[in-house]
Amino acid sequence: MNKKESGWTNRLGRKSIARRLMLQYVASLLGFVVILALAVVVGISICLRFTWQADNIVYILLKFIEYNIAWVSGVLCIAGWTVITYRFIAKPLRYLNEVVDAAETLVHEREEPVRLSEAMGDVENELNLVREQALRNTMIAREAEQRKNDLVVYLAHDLKTPLTSVIGYLTLLRDEPKISPELRARYTGIALDKAQRLEELINEFFDITRFNLTTLVLETERINLSRMLEQIIDEFRPVLAEKELSIRTSIVPDVEILCDPDKLERVFDNLIRNAASYSYERTEIYFSMVKQIEDRVEISIWNRGKTIPKEKLEHIFEQFFRLDSSRSSATGGAGLGLAIAREIVELHGGTIRAESAKESVVFTVVLPAGQLPQLPSDD
């Protein structure tokens, strides 16, 4: 059930409770009036049917009511209305107390479900749905926080290794002025590689901070998506060649879409980089783009690599989730690339999914080629 349907059902449930209480209230008032009228009719019938002694207490009471029928009826109506109204005011208050107690259960995240009286069945179901969703969200948030904390610990550990290497090689170059030019060049190259790795790790820390503190905002313009994708792929060819990987493309020419080119470039940069990181050596990456009906564009990135288990595929787009569960961050990064990619794609009104089977992995992005979706207002 989506949010719109759920909201409609919830409003319907609340309306049914109010309607039921109102109908019961009106029925009780009408029932009281009918009973009062019947009592008056029965009393008059009794008075007329029998011969009474003038000093009989029942006769005196019935005669008093007969002579003061308007006044007595008014008093009885007011008394009955007061009792019935009090009862129906007290009932919603009891319901309100039940809801307050149930809200306390939700706040304290207790395991037991919310229990309300039978008349509050609709509200009970609604609160239990809220409770289940809140528990799921809390669990997801805790898992993401735990993954982030673990990653920070791992990154902090990994920072120490290249930093120690840089300090060691630079110290060696300083303390050994007569070292040969070949050895000096070798040590300098190693120190530079370690420093670059150190920069990558620091950038991952910045990614974590930016993802937590900023909200993505699109700055859109109409671009030639085909040309942008070809440029991104060309920039990756030297990187792929170093890893003995190749890339084959099939891109429909001159496809234009309305998008934020910088953020969309980040999406495909992350996906190609991810494919390169997890591909088998000396294999081929396949990149394709086709234009579907209804003005939608489908882009797929396929690579040959380890099959991703189904349980990991379900979490692959979550924050700080990494396929590589080892402490090394050499391949997995901060676990933000795919999470950010999904957020950017969904902001464009598109979808992104991952599939894996028989030692192959494919990521598929579907984007609208027309107008971007209208974002909900704050009102």
- Assigned domain for 201 exists: yes
The DSSP letter of residue 369 is S
Last residue of a domain, one of 158, 191, 213: 213
Q: What is the largest CA-CA distance in the chain?
A: 141
Residue 287: the pLDDT is 95
356 and 246 part of one domain: yes
364 and 233 in one domain?
yes
Model pLDDT, residue 115: 72
pLDDT of residue 320: 64
Same structural domain, 203 and 229: no
**Sign of the C-alpha dihedral computed for residues 266, 268, 269 and 270 taken in this order:** positive
Q: In the prediction, which pLDDT does 283 show?
A: 93
Does 130 fall in a domain? Answer: no
Same domain, 232 and 275: yes
Query: Is residue 225 located within the same domain as residue 360?
Result: yes
Q: Are residues 294 and 310 in the same domain?
A: yes
Q: Residue 155: which domain range?
A: 147-213
Structural domain includes residue 355: yes
Q: Which of 213, 230, 256 is the last residue of a domain?
A: 213
Number of folded domains that form the chain: 3
CATH assignment of the domain containing 161: 1.10.287.130
Whether 93 maps to a domain, the answer reads yes
pLDDT given for residue 126 in this prediction? 76
Half-sphere exposure of 240 (CA within 13 A, CB side): 25
If asked whether residues 82 and 174 sit together in one domain, one would say no
Check residue 4 and give its pLDDT. 45
For residues 323 and 331, what is the distance between their CA atoms, to the nearest angstrom? 9
pLDDT, position 323: 63
Query: Same domain for 312 and 360?
Result: yes
In the prediction, which pLDDT does 130 show?
78
Torsion 23-24-26-27 (CA) sign: positive
Q: Which CATH number does the domain housing residue 263 bear?
A: 3.30.565.10
**pLDDT at residue 379, as a whole number:** 46
Q: pLDDT tens digits for 211-259?
A: 554 566 788 899 999 999 999 999 888 888 888 899 999 999 989 999 9
* DSSP collapsed to 3 states, 22-77: HHHHHHHHHHHHHHHHHHHHHHHHHHHHCCCCCCCHHHHHHHHHHHCHHHHHHHHH
Same domain assignment for residues 176 and 85: no
Do 95 and 38 have their domain in common? yes
The verdict on 152 and 206 lying in the same domain is: yes
Low-confidence ranges of the chain (pLDDT < 50): 1-10, 12, 213, 326-331, 375-379
pLDDT tens track for 148-202: 676 666 666 667 777 888 888 888 888 887 888 888 888 888 888 888 878 877 7
pTM of the model: 0.52
E strands within 270-338?
284-292, 296-304
Per-residue confidence (pLDDT) for residue 319, from 0 to 100: 66
Helix, strand and coil percent figures for the chain, each rounded to 5: 65, 10, 25
User: Do residues 227 and 331 both lie within one domain?
Assistant: yes
